[in-house]
Amino acid sequence: MYNIPIMVNISRPVAAVIGATGYTGQELVRLLGGHPRVRLGFATSEAEAGAHVPGTSLRYVEASKVPLDGADVVFTCLPPGDSAAWSLKAHEAGARVVDLSADLRAGGHGAVYGIPELWRECIRGQSLVANPGCYPTGILLSLAPLLRAGLVDGSQPIVIDAASGVTGAGRSAKRDLLFGEVSEDYRAYAVGNAHRHVPEIRAGLARAAGGAAPPFVFTPHLLPVRRGILETMVVPVVQGVTAAVARETMRVAYGGEAYIDVLEDGLPGLRETVGRNVVAVGLADVDGVDGRMVLCVAAFDNLLKGAAGQAMQNANLMLGWPETEGIPA
């Protein structure tokens, strides 16, 4: 017997996470650790540079120390303003870039808006993608099939009540997010369509409708939980539309989608969606009111399908890989 050395090819595409110690950055580091086609080469943190990156053999580095021309795909997870700057630097260096901030969602610098289940072919092969916000993800995935099918009565506003866990506000220290402030409380904020995601929601609804966006009232709430989003939408519908009709429309629209779960009956909750890259949607009829309405409820993990998991879907499409690679359902 001869001892023949086994040659192992470790030359895989390299990923970089810019802003890897925030909640979303941490999730991306975890997902990349299990991805079969790409390896994490760089994870940045200004405050924790030199510290060990959990679950890897790497250490955090400052963003300025990352050789962007040596990265094949870059995820930017920085605050608004900073994120766009690094996204454009990485893009100019030749990397494919997924920006997870709000900076490029309006289409600036040629960025493509990335909800795969709605606009997959627009994302495939692109080099600069703006990852959607967490609240808009569930709203647009829930309402787009109804708008495309002409089931929504645009003469009345859609009422959207959305509640997010505290990780949706980021990891920076803020007094109103302290445990003593959040625990055993539940409150609305940025009311009256004042939330920063409203323009993104409006643009997405208009795109799905193929014209003007239907009127809507969006009220976000802070849930006293770590992660997860629950969105309750009261949707005015045209004559003859029931929850059953809306449900069948969604099932046809999302047939075969790995990360959309249209419930046959009942409404979803956080417990069955947190930790998974899935949006679960349930529908119900509304009785005893003037006008025709359908209740639509969406539940999902704000850090996965609302951020890092969807970013990985986008990256897979950009690189020509199967969309589900490295993403748990």
Tell me: the pLDDT tens digits for 232-266?
999 999 999 999 999 999 999 999 999 999 999 99
Whole-model pTM: value is 0.93
Active site (annotated) includes residue 134: yes
Residue 5: pLDDT above 90? Answer: no
CATH 3.40.50.720 fits 14-132+307-318, yes or no: yes
Measure CA of the first residue to CA of the last residue in the chain; give whole Å: 45
- Tell me which DSSP letter residue 168 carries: G
Residue 179's pLDDT is 76
Cα-to-chain-centroid distance, residue 23: 13
- Using DSSP, state whether 167 is helix, strand or coil: helix
Rg, Å, the chain Cα set:
21
Q: Do the strands 187-188 and 216-222 form a parallel or antiparallel pair, or are they unpaired?
A: antiparallel
Query: Measured between alpha carbons, how far is 104 from 89 in angstroms, rounded to an integer?
Result: 14
Joined tokens for residue 193: 């369509």
Kindly indicate the confidence band of residue 171, based on its pLDDT and cuts at 50, 70 and 90: low
CATH 3.30.360.10 fits 134-301, yes or no: yes
* Whether the Cβ atoms of residue 280 and residue 300 lie closer than 8 Å to each other: yes
Residue 173: pLDDT above 70? Answer: no
- Using DSSP, state whether 99 is helix, strand or coil: strand
Query: Measured between alpha carbons, how far is 324 from 130 in angstroms, rounded to an integer?
Result: 19
Q: Nearest Cα to 151, choosing from 209, 203, 110?
A: 209
* 186-235 residue pLDDT tens: 899 999 999 999 999 999 999 999 999 999 999 999 999 999 999 999 99
Kindly state the greatest CA–CA separation across the chain.
85
Annotated active-site residue in 77, 122, 134, 296: 134
Domain ranges of the chain: 14-132+307-318, 134-301
Residue 6's pLDDT is 38
Residue 90: pLDDT above 90? Answer: yes
Residue 4: pLDDT above 70? Answer: no
Residue 2's pLDDT is 35
- Start-end of H helices in the chain: 23-33, 82-92, 116-123, 134-148, 179-182, 198-209, 243-253, 309-318
Contacting residues for 96 by C-beta, under 8 A, at least 6 apart: 72, 73, 74, 126, 127, 128, 315, 318, 319
Residue 50's pLDDT is 96
* 178-199 residue pLDDT tens: 777 778 888 999 999 999 999 9
Residue 226 carries which side chain, given as an amino acid letter?
R
